[in-house]
Amino acid sequence: MKLKELLHYTYVLPILAVGYYFSGLLGHGMLYDIIGGVLLIGSVLSAVHHAEVVAHKVGEPFGTIILALCITIIEVALIISLMVAGGDQAITLARDTVFAAVMLILNGILGICILVGGVKYYEQFFARTSATTYLVSIVSILVLTLVLPNFTSSVNGPFYNEAQLAFVSVACLVIYGVFLMVQTVRHRSYFIIPEEHPAELYIPSLAKTLASFVFLVICLAIVVMMAKGLSTSIENMVQSLGAPKSLVGVIIAAVVLLPEGVAAIRAAKSNQIQSSLNLALGSALASIGLTIPAVSTVCIMYNIPLVLGLDKKDIILLSLSVFIVMLSLSRGKTNILYGTVLLVNLAAYIFTVIVP
């Protein structure tokens, strides 16, 4: 690789972020936290760039799977580290963060992608079979993990006992594993529209791909560390606003999902709505399908209580979001109304978090 390429911001900013994090300045005042936040955003944008380079090399749908899995690794690492550090005070953090991630993806990322694409191209077309395959898996896991705990009777409250946690974790992994097999082997054609990926598409060299993969891992790792370092400042900010602690989960999920969101919106602007759907829905599925089993395993090992069941308000908002997404993706084409409605749902969710 040329020196000019190595001096690109996508290589420089992650290295600066790593140095800044280990300098110990983070958390020593508002100015230091703002600098950390800027480097965090820079690392997120760098992660998007490197993920796209890797995606161009491996092709679809593998490229979007790689980014979705990387985002899930960030989410799992962040939730587990904060839960272990927070003890009983963090028993709802996993639920709040996963729920926030799902709501931000289904309403926010998907809504912006559909709206941006609709404004620029009027209508965009995608494979209905892909949307159905995603949604079947997502709905099943959502109900098993976030709704059913409210209605079991082995433990009082929105909890699962250890046996139930183990069963639900295995169920999530089975659904996600079979989905990956369908997406990558048996029905790969469901998730690809050939016109979106013409033959003349730029394919990076092996050296550049390997460099991007290494920096992608660095970017994702530093995003986790910087977000954890800023978590105390975020919690203090939420408390100063008088907002509920569940807003912390929303903010954490928003930070974690930035790479995915930026990549999906850029794809929609390039008239690649199928890639946007693969990124958004794939991330939603990975977020709940892999995060819940990982967090459940840690909670069982360390005997940490884990609240999974949503309250009635959140169940209604989740049901509304899933229903609107299913209707919006049922025809295989999009327009600006679908995106607008989804973004209104997102606004309602965030507003009811702040004003319950």
Token pair 């009082």 is at which residue?
A: 156
Q: DSSP for 99-134?
A: HHHHHIIIIIIHHHHHHHHHHHHS-EE--HHHHHHH
- Among 123, 114, 63, which residue's Cα sits nearest to residue 265? 114
| Sequential pLDDT tens for the chain (356 residues) | 555 555 677 888 899 999 998 888 887 788 888 898 888 888 877 887 887 788 777 776 677 677 777 777 777 777 777 777 665 666 788 888 889 989 999 999 999 999 999 999 999 998 888 899 999 999 999 999 999 999 998 888 788 999 999 999 999 999 999 998 988 888 877 787 665 544 445 678 888 888 888 888 888 788 778 877 777 777 777 777 777 777 877 887 887 787 778 888 988 998 989 888 988 898 888 888 888 898 888 888 878 888 899 999 999 999 999 999 999 999 889 999 999 999 999 999 999 988 88
The helix/strand/coil state of 193 is coil
The rounded distance, in Å, linking the Cα atoms of 266 and 129 is: 23
Strand partners of residue 23: none
Residue type at 201?
A: L
Q: Supply the pTM of this predicted model.
A: 0.82
> In terms of residues, how long is the chain?
356
**Could you tell me the residue range of the domain that residue 136 belongs to?**
3-354
Quick check: 228 and 79 in contact, CB under 8 A? no
Q: What angle do CA 311, 317, 323 make, to 5 degrees?
A: 130
Task: Give the domain CATH number at 112.
Answer: 1.20.1420.30
pLDDT of residue 107: 95
Residue type at 354?
A: I
Q: At what angle do helices 30-58 and 206-241 cross, to 10 degrees?
A: 140
The rounded distance, in Å, linking the Cα atoms of 258 and 264 is: 10
End-to-end Cα, the chain, rounded Å: 53
The rounded distance, in Å, linking the Cα atoms of 270 and 193 is: 14
* Count of beta carbons in the 10 Å neighbourhood of residue 2: 6
The helix/strand/coil state of 256 is helix
Which tokens go with 251? 């903010």
The rounded distance, in Å, linking the Cα atoms of 118 and 89 is: 43
**Number of folded domains that form the chain:** 1
